[in-house]
Amino acid sequence: MQTGLDKVLNSLALTAIENSDSQSAIKLFTGYGTDDSGDRIYGGQVMAQAISAAQQSCDSEFKLHSMHSSFLRQGALDKIITYSVDPVRDGRSFLTRNVTALQDNNDGIERPIFSATLSFQKDETGPSHAVAMPEAPAAESLANEEQRIGEFFTQTGLSNDYDWPIDVRFVEPVDLANPQARPPRALVWVKAKGTLPADDTVHKQMFAYASDNPILLPAFYPHGITPFTPNVMAATLSHSIWIHQAFNADDWLLFDIESDFTGGGRGMGKAKVFDKDGRLVASAIQEGLVRKK
């Protein structure tokens, strides 16, 4: 039986399809959402697949260093996703790719559900500095978020058959049943629940997958609510990541997250991401819905 992580990894192996326009430089790939994503496609999975599609249009010496994405429509789990990769620019040091994800909405017309601009760079050396990692207890000493959510669902009578492929552990987890107002900051350890292939591109794809989960949560904290609070809506609107250094997504990464603003039905979250050795390896920013129905 496949685990949730196996399903996600299999979904990242997109299928290349022939472009009917033989003169076009655009490359096309198809993918799908996994059943473990709930009633709609999980945004992190779409981002991970978009990285996979874009990377397949680049020489291997060029590595992803940034991605800026927008979520345009809700994606359906039971429909194929087409990823259109436009090779915007090929330079000596940098490559730029625009990726659009499209789905048929039962009328034979594929419409965009997601778009992103990705930049790839050859390895370079130069001046270097980075902020220090904040102090945090070891991940192994903290509660597993999947188990906490499972207990919450059991208490509230909700079904919980979600096989989350990421192990998430909050340094100071919120009481899901009775959240209290608190400052908009969180420290969260995150890693894949199994061993990933020894492929840098897969680790970046799984980082994108995982990064969509915790970043927005501090935007809810000052208001004493969570995405599980009745009549509260949460969804990703835009998401950007920057890769600073190589890392292993199947080893613990510490997300140091802050929210500078919530208002107008939207909230912001930004994260500095460190590996266990204290290196700043990535950054991410997300804007999402923080709305009461």
The CATH 3.10.129.10 portion of the chain extends over 1-122, 144-293
Buried b (16+ CB within 10 A) or exposed e, 2-36: eebbebbbebbebeeeeeeeeeeeebbbebbbbeb
Taking the C-alpha atoms of residue 219 and residue 287, their distance in angstroms, rounded to an integer, is 9
Please give the distance of CA 36 from its chain centroid, rounded to a whole number: 15
Mean pLDDT of 149-167: 80
Tokens of 61: 């010496």
The single residue of 212, 250, 256, 275 carrying the catalytic annotation is 212
What pLDDT does residue 15 have? Answer: 95
236: annotated active-site residue: yes
Secondary structure in 3-state letters for 34-56: CHHHCCCCCHHHHHHHHHHHHHC
pLDDT of res. 164: 86
Q: Give the residue carrying structure tokens 């979250």.
A: 269
Report d(CA 174, CA 126) in Å as an integer. Answer: 41
Task: For 87-118, write each residue's pLDDT tens digit.
Answer: 999 999 999 999 999 999 777 889 999 999 99
Catalytic residue among 103, 201, 262, 286: 286
Select, from the ranges 20-24, 121-125, 146-150, the one with the highest average predicted confidence (pLDDT): 121-125
Q: 64-81: per-residue pLDDT in tens?
A: 999 999 999 988 888 899
Residue 38 tokens, joined: 């709930």
Mean pLDDT, rounded, for 135-141: 97
Q: What is the pTM of this model?
A: 0.94
Mean pLDDT of 113-138: 96
Q: Is 212 a catalytic residue?
A: yes
The pLDDT-based confidence of 57 (bands split at 50, 70, 90) is very high
Nearest to 261 by CA among 197, 206, 216, 209: 216
* Domain 144-293 fold: Thiol Ester Dehydrase; Chain A (3.10.129)
Residues present in the chain in total: 293
pLDDT value of residue 158: 66
Residue tagged active-site, from 45, 49, 55, 236: 236
Residue 125 to residue 71: CA distance in whole angstroms: 34
pLDDT at site 37 = 52
Quote the pLDDT of residue 263.
97
- Extract the runs of DSSP E, i.e. beta strands, from 11-159: 15-17, 27-31, 63-71, 81-90, 94-104, 110-121
**DSSP character for 243?**
E
* CATH topology for the 1-122 domain: Thiol Ester Dehydrase; Chain A (3.10.129)
Per the annotation, the verdict on 155 as an active-site residue is: no
